[in-house]
Every structure is written in structure tokens, then in C-alpha cells.
Amino acid sequence: MVILNAGCRLLACSVCVSAAVSAEAASAWMEHVALEGDLRLRHETIRLEPGADDDRARYRARFGFRVDAAESVEFGIRIASGEGSPVSTNLDFGESFSLDNVRIDRAYVGWSVNDALTLTVGKMKNPLKRAGDTPLLWDSDLNPEGVAAALESGRFFGTAGAFRLDYRDDGVESRLYAAQAGAQFDVSESSTLSAGIGWFDYTDMAGNSPLFGDDASGNSVDVAGNYLNDYDVLELFAEYESAVGDWPVIVFAEWARNTRAALADTAYAIGVKAGKAEGAGSTEWSWEWRDTEADALVGILSDSDLADGSTDSRGHVLQGSYMLTDHVALAATLIFSEYGGFSDSPTDFDRVMLDIEFSF
């Protein structure tokens, strides 16, 4: 009996020690894990002329984590709401009672080769620079799939990537080969100027169906509904950063031209951002003008809000946000745009978006 009791005490002690070790190991592991996520609720009003107006309530939900798997290796996974569009994670209230509306938004591995070079493989945050964060070429929700190398050395920076876009039902696959390079210069003690150039080669576009479905998003198509042009896009961009009092200010410009189109081949954006929505009580404001001819760039990958996500468009985008707390923001976006002039079906498209966003 004494031996039995001693055995029980030894077993209990072993369990306690094992539990303590496991808890300590779990705690040590969690030190390498960073959680992130957000929930955005939106009321949206769209006014079309000609066409039917629309009012709707929408939401976006995203949750993910990043793990420092080794000293120079990170991997991350994020899930998000959405119905399959590569440039939108919004869902309408009342139309989303399905598990199909949750998807893998990011799944990647990143390796910091040294202080200057980072390699990333998988479905990743867009590694390509967007002057002033303009979505002229790339919507802010776009997370490309493939491999990318990013270099930052002194004042110079650059990115090169190979991305898979769409594997069509007929077996034709389109890819994107991308390269950007630029430099940042000090204008004064508080001001910098960044400028650069980009080249984006899309494969197997002309004569094939639009990416991700039947909607060419303003790009020219033939009588069968296939892309009329290939897309090799040259990009130039510049970004000036300074401050007015305590407010950071960014003035930016971006220009793009599809060298494979004979007509309607140019797009550009100019804008200004003031303030920084970061921390309770902070605000941020911006204005941008964009003009995108029909075949200047691949429409399905560019901004999904202006002109209903169509090329052959132009318009103003005004945005403002205010941080109620460190993790709750109010935001408003006003869009005044038009599209369809090149296709001889001009349409006025105005949009108002009112948001409240919770994040961690």
C-alpha cells in the first residue's frame, strides 16, 4: 500500500512537471507568433446615370497570424471573407449564408537572405511598390501568388517577381513577370523624393478569355469575348514625402502605358495624402485623380471601387478617416467617376462608402 501511494505521488509529480514544461514550451512558442485581424462594416450607396442606383450594407472580415519560424524565416496564413474576386473581400449582408464565402487570403514563407534581400514564396502581400498606395495598377486587396525577391540597399530599392494569374478551363495559363527599381533621395532634413520604373509582362492574354471569368473590366475584347490585346506595361512613378507642422504629407504620381496596344494605351494617377490614421484621435485625408484608358492595364487587377472596377474610366477619389481608439476607426470615401467613353457607352458612376473598422 505504501509502495502504491508512493507510486501515485510520483506519477502525479511527473504529470505536473510535464504540464509545466508543456506550458513553458507553449509560452515560448507564442513569443514567436503575431496575430492580426480586422472587421469592417460598411454602408455603400452607388448612383448610376444611366442605370439603376444601389444601396447596400457590406462587411469584410480577415484573421491571420505570422510566425518567426527561425532567425531569418517567417511564414504566415490569413483567411478572409469574399466570393472569389481577387480584388475584393467584401460580402453583402443577406447574401452570404455559406462557408464558401471564406477563403485563404495569404499563405506564404519569407526568407531574409541578408539585411538587403528578402525572398517570398506563396500567396503574399503585394510586394510591388504603389506610389502613395494608389490602386491604379493593383487593388489594395490583391495578394499575388508566386515568388518574389525584394531588395533594399541604401537609397536603392527593387522588386522582381513571377506570379501565376489564371489557369483557364481550356488549359491556357496566364502569368505575370514583374520588375521594379527605384531610388530615394533626401530633399531636405524632413523631405524625401522616391522615383522609379517598372515593367510588367502578362503572358497569353490576346485571343484568350478574360482572367478569372468573363468580365474584361473595361479591356477591349474581340467578337468571341477574348482579350483583343496583349499587355506589356511600362510604369513610371514618383513620391514626395514631407511634413506640414505635425502632419506628414505625401504627394505622388504614377503613369503607365501598355506597349502592346495601338490605342487607348495610357493611364495615370496623381494625388496627395495628409495626416496618418495611427493612434486614438489621429486623422488621415487624401485626394486622388485617376485616368485609365481602356487597354492601358489589366482591368480586373486594378482598383475595384472607382468606376465599378472598369478601365476606360476617370474620376476623383476623396477619403478621410478618424481613429476613435487605437483599434477602432471611422472612414468615409467619396468617388465621382465616369466610364465607357471609348466603347461609346458613357456612364456616370458615383459611390459613397461609410465604414467603421475594428482591428488588432
pLDDT for residue 24: 57
Residue 218 covered by a domain: yes
Does 308 share its domain with 330?
yes
pLDDT for residue 26: 52
Residue 270 covered by a domain: yes
* pLDDT digits 0-9 by tens, 6-62: 444 544 444 444 444 455 555 666 788 999 999 999 999 999 999 889 999 999 999
3-class SS at 335? strand
Answer for the pair 195, 230: CB distance below 8 angstroms, yes or no.
no
Does 146 share its domain with 12?
no
Residue 118 covered by a domain: no
pLDDT for residue 7: 47
Does 345 share its domain with 310?
yes
Does 148 share its domain with 10?
no
pLDDT for residue 64: 97
pLDDT for residue 200: 98
Residue 313 covered by a domain: yes
Does 287 share its domain with 139?
yes
Residue 259 covered by a domain: yes
Number of domains in the chain: 2
CATH of the domain at 265: 2.40.160
pLDDT for residue 94: 78
Does 178 share its domain with 309?
yes
Does 167 share its domain with 49?
yes
pLDDT for residue 22: 54
Residue 76 covered by a domain: no
Question: Containing domain of residue 150, as a range?
Answer: 36-58+128-359
Does 138 share its domain with 158?
yes
Residue 84 covered by a domain: no
Answer for the pair 157, 183: CB distance below 8 angstroms, yes or no.
yes
Does 45 share its domain with 180?
yes
H-run or E-run covering 78:
strand 73-81
The DSSP code for 229 is S
Does 48 share its domain with 26?
no
pLDDT for residue 23: 53
Does 334 share its domain with 348?
yes
Positions of the chain with pLDDT lower than 70, given as ranges: 1-29, 95-100
Does 287 share its domain with 155?
yes
pLDDT for residue 19: 47
The pTM score is: 0.89
Please tell me the distance from the alpha carbon of residue 252 to that of residue 127, in angstroms, as a whole number.
Answer: 18
Residue 245 covered by a domain: yes
